[in-house]
Amino acid sequence: MAGNPRKLLPRTIARRAALMAAEKQASDIVLLDLRKVTDFTDYFLICTGSVDVHARAIVDHIEDELRKIGWKPIHVEGAETGKWILMDYVHLVVHVFQPEARKYYSLERLWGDAPQIEVKGLEE
């Protein structure tokens, strides 16, 4: 990767995180642009892991790969149960759900005003 990875734009990091989730077979990957909707973060990455072990594997992969390019979460919660794991990178918040929790919290509906970002390389 050319240049200083710490200077990558949050949008680039968000897209890479989505691809990393796909590498671990996360399903229903959605990337939302929240910049015009709220001021607490720029992007939400929402995806689903089939069971707790799968959800933690997705989170571990994203965290490991982003650390390699200088991005570390300021907070991670929910990893104990794996039902809903949240990783806060300030400009990006990653949500990895198990199916029932994702359906219950329905973040896509809650943040329905936020445009979805297409990520090339994600299989539909």
HSE of 38, CA atoms in CB hemisphere, 13 A: 18
What CATH number is given to the structural domain containing 48? 3.30.460.10
Q: Is there a domain that residue 115 lies in?
A: no
Q: Is there a domain that residue 26 lies in?
A: yes
Q: How many domains does the chain have?
A: 1
Q: What separation, in Å, do the N-terminal and C-terminal C-alpha atoms of the chain show?
A: 27
Q: How far is residue 107's CA from residue 32's CA, in Å, rounded to a whole number?
A: 10
Q: How confident is the model at residue 2 (pLDDT cuts 50, 70, 90)?
A: very low
Greatest CA separation found in the chain?
41
Contacts with 106 (C-beta within 8 Å, 6 or more apart), sequence order: none
Q: Is there a domain that residue 53 lies in?
A: yes
- What number of residues does the chain have? 124
Give strand ranges (E) for the chain. 27-33, 43-48, 75-77, 84-88, 92-97
Task: Dump pLDDT digits (tens) for 13-70.
Answer: 999 999 999 999 999 999 999 999 999 999 999 999 999 999 999 999 999 999 999 9
Task: Dump pLDDT digits (tens) for 96-111.
Answer: 999 999 999 999 899 9
pTM: 0.90
